[in-house]
Amino acid sequence: MTDALDPAALDPADMREQYRTAEFVEADLAADPMEQFARWFAQAADSDAIVEPNAMVVSTATPDGRPSSRTVLLKHYDGRGFVFFTNYDSRKGMELETNPHVSLLFPWHPVARQVLVTGTASRVGRDETAAYFRTRPHGSQLGAWASEQSSVIASRAELLARYEDLAARYPEGEQVPVPPHWGGFRVVPGTVEFWQGHENRLHDRLRYVREGGAWRVERLAP
Active site residues: 201
* Helix (H), strand (E) counts: the chain: 5, 9
CB contact burial 131-168 (16+ within 10 A = b; e otherwise): ebbeebeeeebbbbbbbebeeeeeeeeeeeebbeebee
Q: How many residues does the chain have?
A: 222
Which amino acid is residue 185, in one-letter code?
F
Separation of alpha carbons 140 and 85, rounded Å: 12
Dihedral angle at the C-alpha atoms of 191, 194, 200, 202, nearest 10 degrees? -60
